[in-house]
A and B are shown apart, each in its own frame.
Chain A
């Protein structure tokens, strides 16, 4: 037994040297650069858990995609850029056709492999994080910041606040606080909100929280002083729970705090306890275990004790369901690509990229997937790698999330020009000639 294990390790290490695994030709390999330890380990466990469970469900229920079974392997990144690059390289050559999609669920890792994916012809899908201007598919053919970018989300949040006030025109003269994680991620909010502020005539009060954000006394006293009408919470990790607790401490009503999607999961509200009651957050997916797609996972995966989640109570949580969304989009893109490149075949990353670019998940398809209302409908084109551009808002009632809005779109007349401008600047800096989308098929 011991010998066998030693041999296994040796084989695995040898595998690193040679790269490339002998895998069944009818398996589609997906590398998972997951993180299950470190400050964001709990988030990673839910996100990758949901994604893996969905793929397992497709294998169990449908026998794969048109008979092509999905196979995957995890690689621990610890949410660390260098480890992420190592995982990218390690996973790249695995499987019969190599890794077919890379989704690191970390903006830092996204940046670190941005140029490599184009060289290696592996599509990178960054749902709800990553480089915003990559939504311009002409400049970034290999990157898909799908469903909704940070800028669209910011705009949608303003629209939501507008709807609560009785229309965006009512925002004139209002003051909106922005409590942001003082990092690259948090700063994504600045430019777009400034632009929207000048368009709608409100003011933005930007307040930075130093990472990790487990102390916010000063910030919330500043908020108390400034008395903004709403506070947008642009946080990550421990900062979110602390923000809600400190809001309670300083007497700021939680109903007026609107979180972004990385601030709107059970991982953020549960530790805040009562303080989170009434708090609203955006999301490109909703919480709940009653959707048919989650029910199918329960039945086909957990029913056979093959589930990935250690804590089964988290199935149906916001982040778990977000993982399921990752699964749905990945599987649908492969399905789409098979339509073009041959059903029942394992596809290369390049072929799957075509699948992502021509992805069209309309309401009918969503219903068929058992995900109506679970995530927005989505249509990707050569130029537009974002697709939906919609978010829903959910409110925490102290025990669970309740949806309180329909899908709300961002203001693309503001967002899209910003994306194109930023992408054009990147193209110029890098000497990239944007694709001519009329010639793509």
Chain B
């Protein structure tokens, strides 16, 4: 479906792929006896687009939640940029440059597009509460500076015309785009995308694909992607990891995975 994607772009990325930035070793996670993830290991390399696929309930979102500290696995090690991390809160992950979007849109409904994306700059803003109250000197300067950054993101995502609209009033596809914008505003080095194209029509998907590839390309951002659309996944991913019932059943380049009999049986098999 996405075969019209320029092949050169993909090729270019592959060339830039670097060292392992995130290494997950033997991760197990359970909720009150219910196993969500069992002994999963895989790694993510710098600048690559790494996809996680699998049927519903395979534990894909849980995997992302483990990566950015929303869930704490009972077993296993997580190495980020070579450093092992213990229990970590999500905001610490954010401070280390991990940003993400959510499966069910998690925008701040009461706020405008601009404000939503501005929250992505939060970590980079240093002024205190008193300075904000005065809105004078450094606070104003800071606000303006970050506003410029945010405007760049808005331009990049082509959502200039809706910047002052409350996000609750936007159609689904645009909301997904704003959510991506909020994550991008944080200038992450690792971007986790949880089904960014779910529920979109073809045009919207194409737009979203283009944004993802551009982010990867222009900013060199490493991306971990969960997506159901096999065409998209196979087209834009560098490597794919396949989960089923909380277990890893496949890992490798798209073509390898596509031909893995276990994957075909467990994953593609179920969709027939």
- Find out whether A and B make contact in their complex, taking CB atoms under 8 A apart as touching: no
Chain A residues at the B interface, C-beta cutoff of 8 Å: none
Chain B residues at the A interface, C-beta cutoff of 8 Å: none
